[in-house]
Structure 1
Amino acid sequence: MADTVAALSSGLVPSGVAVIRVSGPQVRFALERIAGGVSDARLATLRPFRDPDTGRVLDKGLVLFFPKPNSFTGEDVAEFHCHGGRAVVGALLQALWSLDGIRPAEAGDFTRQAFASGKLDLTQVEAIGDLIHASTALQLDQALDQLGGGAGRKLMGWKDAIADARAMIEADLDFSDEDDVPGSVIDSLPEQLKAILVEMDNELSSFIAERLRDGFRVVLAGAPNSGKSTLLNALLEREAALVSPIAGTTRDQIDVSIDLEGLPVILTDTAGLRAHEETDDHIESMGIERAQHAVERADCVVWLLGGDSNSVLNKGGSDSKTIRVRSKLDLLPEMNIEKGDADVVVSGKTGEGLSVLKSAIADALRTEYGLTEMTKAGVGRLALDARRRVALQSARGHLEAGLARLEHGAWSLDHSAEELRLAQRALGSITGDVDAEQLLDRVFSRFCIGK
């Protein structure tokens, strides 16, 4: 028998109203003991909530009952809508947990029940996690598309096509002498499998869905004392980094999330860059190496010109992902300001030029990933994270190997069928069709209690 779990599913208390969710086979029992009986399905009913041992009234509120299988979890579900005071919520939870067969829910327990009941596949489960953490409209669009089963349908289409190919191969192996077997699969399958490979390559070559979920990496770089930390604080409109006229104050990178014109962005402040011969500080050298690595991985580099280094680093980069910025505008005499080679001129202290810089960063990211103002980017894609990408690469590898075996001739059909089976299994690890308890534990650890 499945566990019955109970937890606060609404926001932190105190609040105006709190929602406590209970799911599992003991829900009807809980309703009888605490709310005086099972209410009509999906009908909000006003009831007193009582301590099951003493009969003392704990609160008065609404109760809803969702009988299985037509509930979010696929189990019987009840919701107690009570007042959001700490004492009320605490007393009601303790009353529920005191009943036989009911325990406190752990992170993701309700969604895990929905997965176990077949209400959601693993891509939809992960979409709920993305929905909880979404902070921009584009992240919301992508999470809702995944929750609606967009990724699952695409994966299921590939799995079904591969299953059909396997069935045809097995038929060719076992029943090639029968009249109702439609010819040799060696001639009919390669084009179908190649089409799937093209679709997989299209997914693997795109990183837009990952960037929308995890954030675009924008790195502030330049020589020591070029104003990177001041600019970071100005873009965030708060003090996130220490600022000092002493060169080399920033030794390690600082990552901060920001919504930049609707795009989720991770701003990174880095140690000042200069040639290794310009410093004998081992710690600073380590910071420089990390800064260089961050620049290499960045989706956009904001390169601040000027600073205390006389090296070539002061000239900045010139590729399409680099925006050259002349900072410290407030320190220069107004009549002598020269933009020079800079794309943008800003002052981190006065805020002048910041709106231009923000737009320049957003435009650079949109250009890099083919976005427009109206694009619902990532919708219809698999939203690959590291786990999904590895699984899809594995599936692609087995599919390609199966295709190669198929093209070698009838003598290798059994090997081709095995490769296709392994490709199916790899795809199944994305949707959760294979037994992987450790994988599920990792997925659900991202959830909050009550979800």
Structure 2
Amino acid sequence: MHAETIYAPASGLAKAGIAIIRLSGPETGAVVSALTGRPLPAPRRAVRRQFVDPVDGSALDDGLLLWFPGPGSYTGEDLAELHIHGGPAVRAAVLVALSRQPGCRLAEPGEFTRRAFLNDRMDLSRAEGVVDLIEAETEAQRRQALRQAEGALFKRCEAWSEQLLRLAAHAEAVIDFPDEDLPEDIWERSAADIRALRDALSREIDSGRRGERLRDGVRVAIVGPPNVGKSSLLNRLAGRDAAIVNARAGTTRDVVEVALDFEGYPVTLSDTAGLRDAVEEIEAEGVRRALRAARAADIVIRMSAPDVSETVPPEALAGEGVVLIDVRNKADMKGDDIAGNRPDIMAGDPAAPPTRAPAGGPLALSVHSGVGWEDFLQRLREAVESVAGLGEAAGLTRARHREAVSESRDALTRALEAPQPDLRAEDIRLALRAIGRITGRVDVEDLLDVVFRDFCIGK
């Protein structure tokens, strides 16, 4: 338990009808009694109380009090919540009164959840799920974060740990009890189990980083030669004029990024400079940035048009595991128009009614008239879901999760190749410790500042 009692607003600092101030620590009960001048209420029942300044007895506010005695609280310590009016002056007066109480201090960001972890109220993966839940901006992010906060990843890691513990016990038995009547094929059976678990961890590593992409956002780059309608496509997807559209080639010089909530999935959409042999230095730099954006993308929308002869160079699609969507824009262009660009087609009309596109080859589309728009959205939806699909299994949502699983898999590979029983046992122990770092079972002190630094104050 901690010696200090911490307090902080748990509902943000904006003006609101109600504000919540949370306290946790050994002096919580005494502080609450001093603020109300009355005994503590029954646990987990909201009661109306007048809050006063213990120093001079002046009234602060009239609100609700909730009392959560430890260890059955969020932090595992004595905890209380003051539900007061959400005006800045009321909130400030209550915080000043709390600051004058002995043994009390303002909480640091994430300190309530950090105490919950240190007091065994949650594991590290659940704590990360809490901060992801606070930060979630789309429905898919919310669902993934909620599952992690409820322990889905923890349960999966615990299942791996149980298998590793059993394997470690078998390996230790061979070392510690060589004269006992152990099964002759004990190592062969253990090797088969190690191989199966190693393969399962490999499949998790090779799953396409879906959890991380869903948490951080799917990166979609629109690439193609000048004047094929890249900026118009970005504007229509964004629902606003985020990029300049003009018939003049080379209008887009830099990467224009727009963050979207695409049907519940977080997407960062990038409009890039037209890919061609640029002579001007600024346009050439824009082309280099466009290629970098394409290589870093999860999905590349490769656009072409019947009135543009240039094509996308192969190096633009060099990203590992990239999902490609081929789009042939200006599908409504007539033969007489192909001789030159039509600014009215480049402008686009988001309100235009969509029609179905013909099947086969690149996706036929007209950003201007809506020809093929529904087909394009369906193709993009399928691509986003394939990159960041929310399956039933609990995914790895952070790079540190993936590194730990990779380390565990590599240790199991070494165990299979180890020539001596003691080396096998050590590698299995290392595999177990690596998985334990995901949930916080071992060697996590150096990770705590990293995990909790993204929390808001009061959580």
Matched residue, 1:374? none
Q: TM-score, normalised by structure 2?
A: 0.85
Cα distance, 1:437–1:309 mapped onto 2, change above 3 Å:
farther
Letter in 2 for 1:202: R
C-alpha deviations, 1:286-307, integer Å up to 9, x for none?
3322322322343322233249
Q: Say if 1:188 and 1:364 are closer, same or farther in 2 by CA, change over 3 A.
A: closer
Shift of the 422–396 alpha-carbon distance from structure 1 to 2, 3 Å rule, reads same
Q: Distance in 2 between matches of 1:62 and 1:193?
A: 56
Distance verdict in 2 for CA 1:328–1:271, change over 3 Å: farther
Provide, for residues 39-89 of structure 1, a one-character-per-residue CA deviation record: whole Å limited to 9, x for no partner. 211011100011121111110000001011111111111000011111111
In 1, distance between residues paired with 2:307 and 2:454? 43
In structure 2, the residue matched to 1:414 is 422
The root-mean-square deviation of aligned C-alpha atoms, in Å, is 2.9
Question: Partner of 2:200 in structure 1?
Answer: 199
Name structure 1 gaps, 5 residues minimum. 372-376
Q: Supply the AA of the counterpart residue of 2:126.
A: Q
8 Å Cα contact 1:34/1:50 also seen in 2: yes
Tell me the residue number matched to 1:400: 413
2:120 match = 118
Which residue is equivalent to 1:345? 365
Match of residue 301 from structure 1: 300
One-letter amino acid matched to 2:435: L
Maintained 8 Å contact 2:305/2:328 = no
1:131 deviates by 1.0
Partner of 1:431: 439
2:337: which partner in 1?
Answer: none
TM-score by length of 1: 0.87
How many pairs were matched up?
431
Of residues 178, 186, 195, the one that matches 2:180 is: 178
Tell which deviates more after alignment, 434-443 or 149-158: 434-443
The structure 1 residue matched to 2:396, chosen from 366, 377, 383, is 383
Query: CA contact under 8 A between 2:274 and 2:287: conserved in structure 1?
Result: yes
User: Match of 1:326, as an amino acid?
Assistant: N
Who is 1:210 aligned against? 212
Instruction: Tell me how far 1:351 sits from its aligned partner.
Output: 6.7
Deviation at 1:202?
1.8
Deviations 1:99-155 (A, max 9, x none): 122111221111111111111111111111211122233222222221221211211
What's the CA shift for 1:425?
A: 1.6
Match of 1:232 among 231, 234, 246: 234
The 8 Å contact of residues 211 and 388 in structure 2, kept in 1 or not, is answered as no
Alignment of 1:5-20 (within 5 A): 5-20=6-21
Q: Distance in 1 between matches of 2:21 and 2:11?
A: 7
Tell me what 1:273 maps to: 275
2:376 to 352, 357, 374: 357
In structure 1, the partner of 2:335 is none
Contact 1:263–1:362 (8 Å) recurs in 2:
no
Does the 8 Å CA contact 1:219/1:268 hold for their aligned counterparts?
yes
Instruction: Give the direction of change, closer, same or farther, for the CA distance of 1:53–1:379 in structure 2 (3 Å limit).
Output: farther
Aligned partner of 1:313: which letter?
Answer: V
Matched to 1:281, the amino acid is E
- Name the amino acid aligned to 2:425: A
Comparing 47-56 with 162-171, greater Cα deviation is found at: 162-171
Q: Contact 1:324/1:341 (CA < 8 Å) preserved in 2?
A: no
- Larger deviation: 378-387 or 27-36? 378-387
Change (3 A) 1:251 1:433: farther
Q: How far does residue 446 in structure 1 lie from its aligned partner after superposition?
A: 1.5
Moved more, 222-231 or 261-270: 222-231
- Counterparts of 2:91 and 2:281 in 1: how far apart (Å)? 54
Instruction: Give the conservation status (yes or no) of the 8 Å contact 1:223–1:307.
Output: no
Within 5 Å, give how 1:30-429 maps onto structure 2: 30-36=31-37, 37-179=39-181, 181-183=182-184, 185-207=186-208, 208-274=210-276, 278-306=277-305, 310-313=309-312, 321-327=324-330, 331-332=344-345, 343-347=363-367, 354-366=373-385, 368-369=386-387, 377-405=390-418, 408=419, 412-429=420-437
Cα shift at 1:419: 0.9
Distance (Å, rounded) in 2 between the aligned partners of 1:307 and 1:273: 16
* In 1: Cα distance, 2:446 partner to 2:149 partner: 22
Percent of matched pairs sharing the same residue: 40
Gaps of 5+ in 2: 333-342, 347-351
SS at match of 1:321: strand
Matched letter for residue 215 of structure 2? R
Amino acid at match of 2:378: S
Tell me, yes or no, if the aligned pair for 1:172 and 1:184 is still in contact at 8 Å: no
Secondary structure (helix, strand or coil) at the match of 1:313 reads: coil
Q: State the Cα deviation string for residues 299-332 of structure 1 (Å, max 9, x = none).
A: 3222332499753339998x96223141597725
* Cα-to-partner distance string for 1:327-371 (whole Å, 9 max, x where unaligned): 59772599xxx99975142336x77765553333113334x4595
**In 2, distance between residues paired with 1:256 and 1:307?**
27
Q: CA deviation at 1:397?
A: 0.3
Residue 239 and residue 342 in structure 1: after superposition, are their counterparts in 2 closer, same or farther (change >3 A)?
same
In the alignment, the residues of structure 1 paired with residue 284 and residue 445 of structure 2 have an alpha-carbon distance, to the nearest angstrom, of 43
The one-letter code of the counterpart of 1:359 is: Q
Whether the aligned pair in 1 keeps the contact of 2:16 and 2:86 (CA below 8 Å) is yes
Please give the alpha-carbon distance, in whole angstroms, between the structure 2 residues aligned to 1:94 and 1:236.
Answer: 45
